[in-house]
Structures are given as C-alpha cells and as structure tokens.
Amino acid sequence: SYLTVCRDDALQAAREAEQALVRGADLGPMHGVPVAVKDQVYSAGIRTTLGTPMFKDYVPSEDATVLANLKSAGAILLGKLNMTELAITETIEFPYGTPNNPWNPERSPGSSSAGPGVATAAALCGATLGGDTGGSIRIPAAYCGIVGLRPTFGRVSRAGTMTACWSMDTIGPMTRSVED
C-alpha cells in the first residue's frame, strides 16, 4: 500500500510529539496520530508520483493544504500511498504494483484510493486521506471494510493535490471506524 515511507521524519516527529506531551504543551486534536496520504497529495521534500512513472522523480516544494492542516493539528506523516495511475479508476492500472486487499488477496482493494483503503484496514496507520471523484474513497472503504467519507464538494481544500476532474474531486478521510 505504501509507495514512499517517511521513516526518519516520522520517528523524529514522534519523538517531538512525545516530548511535547511530557512538557504539557498545548496539543492539537491529531497530536501523535500516525497518518498516511494518497500519493496525489503534495508533500514538501517527499516524492509524489501521482501513481505514474511519468512523475517518478517529482518532489514538490510545498505541502498540500490538507497535509499542512494535518501536520499543524499534530498528525505524523508516515508516508505516501499507492493509487491508480493519475487517479483514473476506469483502467485500474497500478504501475507501482496493485495493493492487496488485506482480508482476501484474491479480491480487489477498490479503485484509485486503494492504497489508503488497504493501509487503513491493515492498521498500517491511524488514518489516511484519499481522493474521490466518482467513488474512489467509498469503493476502497467498502471493499476493505473500513469507513470512508466523501466531503461536500469544496468543503476541504484541494490546493496542492492532483485532481482527475476539477469539478468533482474531493479529498477525504478513511479510518477503521466511525469513531476514529
């Protein structure tokens, strides 16, 4: 499910989160929560492939607004998650390898946000962000037995994310339960 693992940065952020707890610092609502994002979300200094070999070496200089917001709330980025090429669901092409449905590898993991669906269901992080044009959060959530939310269009900023259809795309959370 992961295309890029941010091991060193995540460990450093976890140490800093722990030190903040010890100091009694004002903690954000996502303090210390390990998250991962679909590889369509730009991340400063971290490869963002958009699921295509065409961008295999692309490294954005800024975080997408959704990622910056997660970080400012205290979340720890574990890495970037697999997706269909350029978020095109109709082809179901995963140039970097198809993520395995964690409940049954013989079954589909879903559509373009399959990486986030698999990582969430397999407890490889606390929560993920996926992208949804026509079901790309909801389908992997259903196939992997997790919760996926497609926010109202325009509710969540898409600044710094690659979109498949500007008038329909949304970025939304995927978790193991509604409570999460």
Q: Which residue among the candidates 38, 43, 80, 111 is catalytic per the annotation?
A: 38
Smallest CA-to-CA distance from 77 within 24, 28, 27, 6 is with 6
Element (DSSP H or E) covering residue 140: helix 138-144
CA dihedral 153, 154, 157, 162 (to 10 degrees): 50
Q: Which residue among the candidates 1, 43, 113, 136 is catalytic per the annotation?
A: 136
In the structure encoding, which two tokens stand for residue 95, read together? Answer: 């140039």
Residue 7 CA to residue 156 CA, distance in Å, equals 27
Active-site residue, 113 included: no
Active-site residue, 112 included: yes
CA atoms within 13 A on the CB side of 57: 0
Active-site residue, 157 included: no
Q: Which residue among the candidates 43, 111, 112, 113 is catalytic per the annotation?
A: 112
- Where in the sequence numbering do the catalytic residues fall? 38, 112, 136
